[in-house]
Amino acid sequence: MQALCGIMCFKKREGIKKMSRFKKDPTEYNQRILFPTNIFDLLSKGHECYIYKDLIDLLDTKYVEKKYSYIGQNAYHPRLILGILIYAYSHGVFSSREIEKRCNEDLGFMYISHLNCPNFRVLSDFRKINNEFFKLCFVQTVKLARESGLASLGHVSLDGSKFKADSSKHKAMSYKRLKESEKELTDAIDELLKKASLCDEEEDADHGKLSGYEISEELKIKEKRQSIIRKAKDDLEKRESAMNPGKEIDDKKQISFADPDAMIMGDKGKFEYSYNGQISVDKDNQIIVGEHLSRISNDKQEVEPALSELSSSTGELPDKMSLDNGYMSGKNLEKFSETNIDVYIATGKGEVEPESTEDINKGKFRKERFMYDIESDTFICPENEHLEFKTTYKNGTKIYKGKKEICQNCESYSKCCNVKKGKARIINSDGKEAFRQEMKDKMKLESSRKIYKKRKAIVEPVFGQIKHVLGFRGFCVRGYKKVCGEFSLICGAHNIKKIVTSVKKGVVRQNGGKLLKNGG
């Protein structure tokens, strides 16, 4: 009996040893399954790649299709390449090589690409040569958003942010250095040509056992460098004459050899070759309804192109717009006065907060602290003294000046005037002070400040999503037109991503090739 019990206990222990604490690999892992299956069945039923595919199918690609020829090898359909790029940019993948890799390894990318895997050069070239097509695609994403009720144009905010160009500030040269280098190379080439014109006997005397080809090679190198320098110099001169017609070029102006169209711009104390990306964002669901790219660092001239883009992409202008202090220029205000838009622009660096006496006493009196009286055409300083109109320069600048004896006896003289020169306070104006004063009066109202405060929650998060969530901080292409195309691509991808999110939440549904808002 004891022996039998011992045998049973032994078998029980053996059974425990055979048991496992971990799951086994599926049978399909080590052998073929009996019946074929669709590889995309491995994706979850609600995977977002299905929604992306449906939305991309709604985009019209006829504009670029007509560029393809029947002659030669069949090309990938442009909608396929567009879909891959939109899906990649929506997921923070911008390198063409990395996109190609994902099309081989990621099931979502494989579904969007129809199990095709375009070479990275095909993706890169498509991105370089189709800037106008990307703009049309962006406009179509705005149309989709508006048709589905995701953007109403009730309140739109405009803002700009710097995006790094595909260039380094170390691969650049100033205008002064370009002129000096061109002269140095020209003199060196002339000297080499003189030597090359010597007869064979003189070359032998000069070079000894050397073959004489050394001069020829050096000449080629210098001529090649001279050609690069001259092209960069010509590009800089053309750029400056277009941006600042009639003005002499500053010797400190620089140009990049890699991307001549890019400009040095400062962002939080860091200076790099960049472009100024401008977006108009709708309040409802943070849909970008207008975009353009500027080569100017500040926003003082960006309202006119922004309104033009808004009108082009939506067919109308918004009811309300809010903008930060960077747009507080006479030209921008004058442009808004020609429209029926209810505009709110911060009139000081402190945005919408009213200025206190304590704030005023902290530093120099800026122009913003002076009130403009339309009737008398004078400026009124914080101490309630008047600066009268004196003259108008040829460029249209109007000069206003206080009285010397009053300024010198003022308690705030050191905070307002140039003490070393002992002169009265002078203010320059572009003749559009009436627009500025009207906005100042408007922004003093509590109702205006309440509307303006919504701006930060409308447009600034979109730049955060593009730069920090997706990681798009700089361009992959070079040249203004190509960069404009890529900016349209990232803005369009942002809109598609917003629409996909709305579909997943059940806010929007697709019906008969159209997007409809649920419950609407």
Identify whether 312 is part of a domain. Answer: yes
Question: How high is the pLDDT of residue 206?
Answer: 54
Same domain, yes or no: 339 and 370: no
Q: What are phi and psi of 137, to 5 degrees?
A: -65, -40
**Residue at 344 is within a domain:** yes
Distances (CA, A) of 186 to 66, 89, 182, 418, 499: 48, 47, 6, 48, 59
Phi, psi of 163 (to 5 degrees): -120, 130
Using alpha carbons only, what angle is made at residue 83 by residues 79 and 84, rounded to the nearest 5 degrees?
120
* Strand (E) or helix (H) holding 481: helix 480-504
Query: Which residue, 236, 256, 276, sits at the end of a domain?
Result: 256
Residues 212 and 183 in one domain: yes
Are 338 and 402 found together in one domain? Answer: no
Residue 134 inside a domain? The answer is no
For residues 275 and 343, membership in a common domain is answered with yes
Domain count, the chain: 4
Alpha carbon 264 to chain centroid, angstroms: 14
> How confident is the chain (520 residues) per 10-residue block, as mean pLDDT?
53 57 69 75 91 94 90 89 97 96 95 93 96 96 94 96 89 76 74 64 54 64 80 82 81 84 85 94 97 94 96 95 94 94 86 44 72 89 90 86 89 81 86 90 94 95 96 95 97 97 90 75
Looking at the structure, do residues 120 and 54 belong to the same domain, yes or no? yes
Q: Is residue 478 part of a domain?
A: yes
In this structure, are 79 and 122 located in the same domain? yes
Q: In which domain, by residue range, is 408 found? A: 357-436
Please tell me the distance from the alpha carbon of residue 35 to that of residue 75, in angstroms, as a whole number. Answer: 33
CATH number at 455 reads 3.30.420.10
Same domain? 192 vs 211: yes
User: Is there a domain that residue 515 lies in?
Assistant: no
- Give 150's DSSP letter: S
**What is residue 274's predicted lDDT score, i.e. its pLDDT?**
94
